Amino acid sequence: MMKEILSIKDSAQEEINNTDNLDAVQNIRIKYLGKKGILTNKIKALSAIAKEERREFGRILNETKDYIENLLIRKEALFKAAELDNVLKTQRIDVTVPGCFTPFGHLHPTTKVLDEIIEIFLSMGFRIEEGPEVELDYYNFEALNFPKDHPARDMQDTFYITDDVVLRTHTSSVQIRIMEKHNPPLKVIAPGKVYRCDADVSHTPMFQQLEGFMVDKSISMSDLKGILEVFAHAVFGPKTPVRFRPSFFPFTEPSAEVDIGCVICSGKGCSVCKNTGWIEILGAGMINPRVFEKVGYDPDLYTGFAFGMGIERITMLKYGIDDIRLFFENDKRFLEQF
């Protein structure tokens, strides 16, 4: 028995000495110490020998097992060190190579400007409401005092879905929906998408508007002027001149268009302002008593103002962009500038 154990020890030692790779070491471990390994079998066979000898042989077998295991571990460590050495020699890390960056996107310029505008009105106590983009003719036109077949409907090239259903041409429709449901006092802004059958450098079939309106017992045109001046100064700078010019909208009386001093030439006259020194930024006015009648408000009791602006237009003026279509092309060279 003793001889056998010594010869197992010797042959294991010799095999371990002669290995030249990690896999071979592993195979030797299995061959001698695995479940059915040569030494393992010897340990299992202990039960068959006489009790007196069992103890002594058990000790010797365990020592031999530890001895072989140690040789295996040392050999493994050698191969692992050599492998690491090799990796370090052949695959050097160049810490000066630029890292891989995940490019971050950001909000679209019109979204940024819309958020900025919303923030300005929220700070003045307005609340946000929304309405449907597919809208009844009634809310888009009729209740806003555009009677059927009235020439004022030509102001807006409408996409009709049926005779009674349109893609809303403006966010003014939300005025009616909100006033129908709620009594004054009201101080509301309504941002959203609107649609018109129109396309050139300053028009796209879909664009965004922000509507605003305020109704209470003694709202006057000076409230409108004050609020819109605060808005214009916040967006275009505190020294920007603002003027109201008489205009016409069926749902306001009187109506006005609001201009700011040209942001390009500061009022001296250029091609953008067509040499007038002024640029229109929005439409506004005092809500027409006819509209109040439609929603069941008493026009003798309540007055109110309303205004509506195009978000793309404001963004173009703020950043000096001369073609509205750039907003929809998704050219990163354009978008990255904001």
The residue ranges that bind ligand DAH (CB under 6 A) are 170, 172, 211, 249, 252, 283-285, 306-308
Sign of the four-CA dihedral 138, 144, 145, 151:
negative
Write the CB contacts of 335 (distance below 8 Å, at least 6 apart in sequence). Answer: 108, 109
Which single residue is written with the structure tokens 């290995």?
19
Cα–Cα nearest to 156, from 146, 164, 201:
146
DSSP type of residue 261: E
Which single residue is written with the structure tokens 């449901």?
181
Q: Return the beta strands (E) in the chain as ranges.
A: 127-128, 134-136, 165-167, 186-195, 206-216, 242-249, 252-261, 278-287, 303-310
The Cα diameter of the chain in Å comes to 121
In order, the DSSP letters of 187-219 are: EEEEEEEEE-S--BTTB-SEEEEEEEEEEETT-
In angstroms, the CA 73 to CA 40 distance is 18
